Chain A
Amino acid sequence: MYKASSRKSDLLLLAGFTVAVLLAPFILGPVGAGYPDLLQKFAIFGIFALGFNILFGLTGYLSFGHAAFLGVGSYAAVWTFKLFSMNPILAVIIATVVGGVFAVAIGFISLRRSGIYFSILTLALAQMSYNLAYSVLTPITNGETGLQLAQSDPRILDVAFGRDYGAVLPSSDFFGIHMTGYPGYYFCAALFVLCFFLSMRIFRSPFGMMLRAVKSNQNRMRYTGLNVRPYTLAAFVISGMYAGLAGGLLAVTDPLAGAERMQWTASGEVVLMTILGGAGTLLGPVIGAGVIKYFENIFSAFNEGVLEQIFSFLPEFLQHAMVSISSMFVGEGWHLTLGALFMVIVIFLPGGLMEGFSRIWQRLRRMTKRDDDKPVEPSSVPAE
Chain B
Amino acid sequence: MDDILLQVLNGLDKGGAYALIALGLTIIFGTLGVVNFAHGALFMLGAFCAVTVKAVLGFEKVALDPTRLTAWGTPVEIRTTYVEAWFGDFGTLLLNFSVPVSIVIAIPIMLLIGIAMERGLIRYFYKRSHAEQILVTFGLAIVLQEIVKSQFGANPIPQPAPEAARGMIDFGAMIGMQAGGVVYPAWRLIYFLFSLLVIAAVFSFLQFTTFGMVVRAGMADRETVGLLGIDIDRRFTIVFGMAAVVAGLAGVMYTPILSPDYHMGMDFLVLSFVVVVVGGMGSLPGAVVAGFLLGIVQSFASMNEVKNIIPGIDQIIIYLIAVVVLLIRPRGLMGRKGVMEH
Contact = CB atoms under 8 A, between A and B. Distances in A.
B315 A340 contact: no
A: contact size bracket: 35 or more
A116 interface: yes
B140 interface: yes
B: contact size bracket: 35 or more
A328 B319 contact: no
B142 A335 contact: yes
Contacts of A15: none
Nearest to B151: A328
A127 B150 contact: no
Interface stretch (B58-66, B86-94, B188-196, B320-328): B320-328
B135 A342 contact: yes
B132 A346 contact: yes
Nearest to B140: A343
Interface stretch (B43-51, B98-106, B266-274): B266-274
Given A62-B134, A114-B342, A125-B323, A342 B139 contact: yes
B89 to A, nearest CB: 40
Nearest to A64: B134
B147 interface: yes
Given A113-B330, A125-B319, A132-B312, A271 B150 contact: no
Contact of B312 (A135, A264, A265): A135
A325 to B, nearest CB: 11
Contacts of B316: 128, 131-132
Contacts of A109: 323, 327
Interface string B121-146: 10010001111101110111111011
B312 A384 contact: no
Contact of B124 (A123, A132, A347): A347
Nearest to A275: B135
B169 to A, nearest CB: 31
B340 to A, nearest CB: 7
B319 A127 contact: yes
Contacts of B273: 120, 123-124
Interface string B275-293: 0010000000000000000
Given A112-B326, A333-B150, A132 B315 contact: yes
A100 interface: no
Interface in A238-295: 264-265, 268, 271, 275
A338 B142 contact: yes
A335 B274 CA distance: 26
20 contacts: A60-B131, A62-B135, A112-B327, A112-B330, A115-B342, A120-B273, A121-B277, A124-B319, A124-B323, A128-B316, A135-B312, A136-B311, A137-B312, A275-B135, A335-B145, A335-B146, A339-B145, A342-B135, A342-B138, A384-B131
Interface of B: 35, 121, 124, 128-132, 134-136, 138-143, 145-147, 149-150, 266, 270, 273-274, 277, 311-312, 315-316, 319-320, 322-323, 326-327, 330, 340, 342
